[in-house]
A and B are shown apart, each in its own frame.
Chain A
Amino acid sequence: MSIEVNDIHFNYGKIKALDGVNLDLSQGAIGLLGPNGAGKSTLIRIMLGFLSPDRGEGRILGYDIKTEQEEIRRYVGYMPEDDCFIPELDAVSFTSYLGELSGMPRQEAMKRAHEALYYVGLEESRYRKVETYSGGMKQRLKLAQAIVHDPRLIFLDEPTSGLDPQGRTEILDLIMDISSKKDIQVLISSHILPDIELTCSYVVILNKGKLAAQGEISKLKEIRDLYELKIKGEAQGFLRKLEEMKCRLEETEDGLLKVYTPPGYNRQEFFRIAAEENVQLRHFVKSQSSLEDLFADAVGVD
């Protein structure tokens, strides 16, 4: 069990930030979601041992969050949300410096810093000073420093904030590659749900300091008796035949056909009718609720 916390409470003065959170997470990439002020940052800070919870206990990678904070931080990588670096250092020195602070031997840290910078795609600019980096490069550098000591658990706080579409896909690809390793777990906190949907298999949704929902994304997404189709060709006959089979049809503004099927309906019928009517099925999926709907549902808004 890499993350295991029980009944965590934390207050900033009178403000309740966390109000009894239980988590038991063991593998893969985990998305941590929640509206602003839900307590995500506080939870990460507690799991990193920056803060000690007012009540409750927990273990990260088997180390106690109250007493073994330094051990936790040795085996955990953290990529903060805001821009942060140490001025006047070039990227290699910066990365190896932080590796050394994690307890790596000096030569090893230097070697590994180069590897990490190659890995995140900064090889050509690794001798440049960090101040001269663009936003996207700083983001990669932050990822490099989070993996330089080969952590077993990585916390990523808004890893794609401020990136353009290319930068975003590149960072997400790296994250997916890292989390595909069986022995590394990744926890991503983000406001951008499509990113979470792409990279994570499991989500934890916080709201007002409490756990609002958690589970495998694919299982949480409820599958309904609803199919989404895009068709091309003479639609009339196709639609009529569907209606004859007691399907309810609905067409959205962007040309998507929603078909609510009656109980006991065999989806092969779609293809039979399409073949009969000579209609192309260009898109055919069983509808699922989106992560966004799931999120809205969990935090109790429409």
Chain B
Amino acid sequence: MKPIIETQHLSKWYGNVLGLSDVTLEIEPGITGILGPNGAGKSTFLKLITGQIKPNIGTCSIKGKRIWNNYPLFSFIGFCPEQDAFFDELTGWQFVTGLLRLHHYSSAEREDKAQKALEIVELVEDKDRVIKSYSRGMRQRLKFAQAIAHDPEIIVLDEPLNGLDPLGRRKIIRLIKSYKGEGRTIMVSSHVLPEIEAMTKRIILIHQGKIFAQGDIHYIRDLIETHPHIISIKCSDPRRLASNFIQEEFVLNVKFSSAEKTLLVETNNRDKFFSLIPSLSVKNNIEVEEITSPDDNLQAVFDYLVGK
């Protein structure tokens, strides 16, 4: 697939405060999760690729064209900022149509698009109330509506789920996933890692202003060699099962967990280990109830790379 967003040595400082340092990457259509600790440079990165701030060094281009100072490109981008900042005296309707006006749509188009966007986020009933009277969840949804109202190809969402209740989160996650099928490029940041995992397997991890990892979560996990894989097996007789592989070289550590009938194995060669299990189970007549990899998820990847 052809990358939509490309950056070259992108760097940004605020005075002597580091925002982002030497970021070179390509982003393809689909959903990409952006994560990192507070102050890592996530928001700086999102602002740079949407052309809101000028990089100190490097370039960022969208569809092969430079984004900075290239206003026609902006109509391809929808941006949902993290800050909870609005024109409080406007109604939700005025807010969305007003922003659409900046994209030079005719008044009929504006109303049509605003109506659609507000329908998507279920704010049609409240569209004529002033934003001041909105709850936090409604304000969040309104921010989302303005990001998608002009039907952009690239949607950049900075913490879109903040302040939403579980139903709101579920709806927005489904909505974001539905855009994937339409060939759009979506970048979404969140602090709640299981929610990122629910949306996408493709992530960019930013820490200390740099890209610490980019790509598929499981692929990234496999690349982290300093941490052997942990495999959890729940079975009828964990000690007998363990006695069968304890002399294998690729088993580094065996631990009997406090949870009932559960065995934690550390291995540096998952292929060999997993090949062994079915036959051992059958041969020794040990009933295996569950096999899981507790550290093959985004949280583990995050912890291992960012470190505690």
Contacts and interface: CB of A to CB of B under 8 A. Distances in A.
A168 interface: yes
Contacts, number: 108
Given A191-B165, A271-B277, A286-B289, A296 B170 contact: yes
A36 B192 contact: no
B132 interface: no
Interface residues on A, range: 35 or more
Interface string B282-301: 10000111111100000100
B81 interface: no
B69 interface: no
Given A163-B191, A282-B270, A292 B166 contact: yes
Nearest to B283: A275
Given A271-B288, A283-B293, A193 B278 contact: no
A135 B191 CA distance: 14
Given A165-B299, A281-B274, A271 B281 contact: yes
Interface residues of B, number: 41
Nearest to B159: A162
A278 B36 CA distance: 40
B191 A268 contact: no
B194 interface: yes
A207 B165 CA distance: 12
A37 B282 CA distance: 53
A26 interface: no
A135 B37 CA distance: 12
Contacts of B162: 162
Given A136-B38, A278-B275, A281-B277, A35 B166 contact: yes
A271 B276 CA distance: 11
A33 B170 CA distance: 14
Contact of A275 (B167, B278, B290): B278
19 contacts: A34-B165, A35-B165, A134-B38, A164-B36, A164-B191, A165-B306, A191-B164, A194-B195, A232-B271, A271-B281, A272-B282, A278-B275, A281-B278, A282-B291, A283-B291, A284-B291, A285-B290, A292-B166, A295-B166
Interface of B: 35-38, 135, 137, 162, 164-170, 191-195, 201, 270-271, 274-275, 277-279, 281-282, 287-293, 299, 302-303, 306, 308
Interface of A: 33-37, 134-136, 162-169, 191-194, 232-233, 254, 267-268, 270-272, 274-275, 278-286, 292, 295-296, 299, 301
Listed from nearest, the 8 A-B pairs whose CB atoms lie closest are A280-B274, A274-B278, A275-B278, A284-B291, A194-B194, A275-B279, A271-B281, A271-B278
